[in-house]
Amino acid sequence: MTTVALLGATGSIGKNTLDVVARLEFKVVAMSAGSNIELFAEQIERYQPELVSISDAKYAEVLANSLKVRLKKLPEIVHGTAGLCAVATHPAAKIVVSATVGALGLLPTLMAIRSGKRVCIANKEPLVMAGELMTLEAAKHGAEILPIDSEHNALHQCLRGENKREVRKLILTASGGPFFLTPAEELAKVSVAQALKHPTWQMGRKITIDSATMMNKGLEVIEARWLFGFAADQIDILIHPQSIVHSLIELIDGSVIAQMGKTDMRLPIQYALTYPERLPLNLPRLDLASIGRLEFYSPPSDRFPAIQLAYRALRLGGLAPAVLNAANEVAVEAFLEERIKFTDIAEVVKVALDRIETYGVGRVESVEQVLEEDKATRYFCNEYIRTRIR
């Protein structure tokens, strides 16, 4: 039986992964969650893993009490980063699904790679912060990295069987988010509620704001660079409001191959879990005739400076992408707490990149070094927001 360890069980990818795992009759041997104890306890009762991890010791106790009334035999309960790493390296797990939010996933994802497992990555941070390290370690330990992020999963499908030298370009599609048509001068005034209204996908708060600024697409460009080994100028972004074409590749002869599907993450999740096999998946089918029209536009970079910032970080290399990611996380949180304006998000990221460019971007040699830079950037950005904005 195929066995799975799941990092981030209670988030939107986690819930969809458990649905797919149940359909495939795979076994969940370990899983982790942050603080949603009630849902996590229900999931543990249903999937009966051997090992579970929760964010901290306090929650571990609450979880244990909640499980005592549900189960005869409790799973082993661990917590914190060590707990996440224990889930990621569980000896019985063949596949690890990495779907935590933010920088938290970096170390456990690397540990899963080092234990030579198939690692299905849904969170962008490990590849954005330390993409080169992740791919080098994967090659060294014979680990397979399979993307769940819908665009990269689409690219993986398009690239199947193609010779990389015959591929001219990767083209990531973007819905454009809720503000694709909003004039630049109005963006400074948009509210948190408006930014949280994504037109096509249901996702967590952080990634929904990233879609509204289009930083999400910028992070995806960096992710694609490491997953598929193409240079920054071979990766393009195309606005496609319907989110039906999940991404495309252009070949040297001009032929373009696209992957299409409904906006349901269970398809990319199952693809990553069962690759290279394809298995039936009983979900509503894509009905192109009822959709009728697919539209495409070039991204308006003046209104979405986050895209250019991401390309800049990728070209700078070294620790710059980790800085971009940390600065963006701090800025998005500040926006969600209404401490800064929507348009300040890109400004915070820009000053953080200016800073690392001045100090020198270095080379990424270890996760510890990346986490240190992550911490320094967060401190710098919080100070910047506190003292320079408002």
The site for Mg ion (CB under 5 A) is made up of: 149-151
Least distance from Mg ion to the Cβ atom of residue 59, Å: 29
Q: How far apart are CA 158 and CA 125, in angstroms?
A: 23
Q: Which is nearer to Mg ion, 210 or 333 (CB)?
A: 210
| Minimum distance from residue 201 beta carbon to Mg ion (Å) | 8
Nearest residue to Mg ion by CB is 149
Nearer Cβ to Mg ion, position 3 or 247?
247
Residue 64 has a CB neighbour count (10 Å cut-off) of 15
DSSP 193-227: HHHT--SS----HHHHHHHHHTHHHHHHHHHHHHH
Q: Which is nearer to Mg ion, 13 or 273 (CB)?
A: 13
Residue nearer to Mg ion on the CB measure, 17 or 53: 17
Nearer to Mg ion, 3 or 150 (CB): 150
For residue 216, the minimal CB distance to Mg ion (Å) is: 6
Rg (CA), the chain: 20
Q: Quick one: 55 or 175, whose CB is closer to Mg ion?
A: 175
Cβ-based neighbours of 378, under 8 Å, separated by 6 or more: 326, 327, 329, 330
Q: How far apart are CA 151 and CA 168, in angstroms?
A: 17
Closer by beta carbon to Mg ion, 150 or else 270: 150
CB 218 to Mg ion: min, Å: 11
CA 25 centroid distance within chain: 25
Query: Mapping DSSP to helix (H, G, I), strand (E, B) and coil, where does residue 377 land?
Result: helix
Compute the least distance from the CB of residue 217 to Mg ion, in Å. Answer: 8
Least distance in angstroms from the C-beta of 245 to Mg ion: 13
> Shortest gap between Cβ of 286 and Mg ion (angstroms)?
18
Q: 198 vs 339, which CB is nearer to Mg ion?
A: 198
For residues 14, 257, 301 and 222, what is the CA-based torsion angle, rounded to 10 degrees?
50
The SS3 call for residue 170 is strand
- CA 73 and chain centroid, separation: 34
Provide the sign of the torsion angle of the four alpha carbons 366, 206, 99, 226, taken in this order.
Answer: negative
Q: Which stretches of 117-276 are assigned E, i.e. beta strand?
A: 118-121, 144-147, 167-174, 235-239, 245-251, 256-260
Q: Which helix (H) or strand (E) holds 31?
A: strand 27-32
Sign of CA dihedral 215, 217, 223, 225: negative
CB of 171 to Mg ion, least distance (A): 14
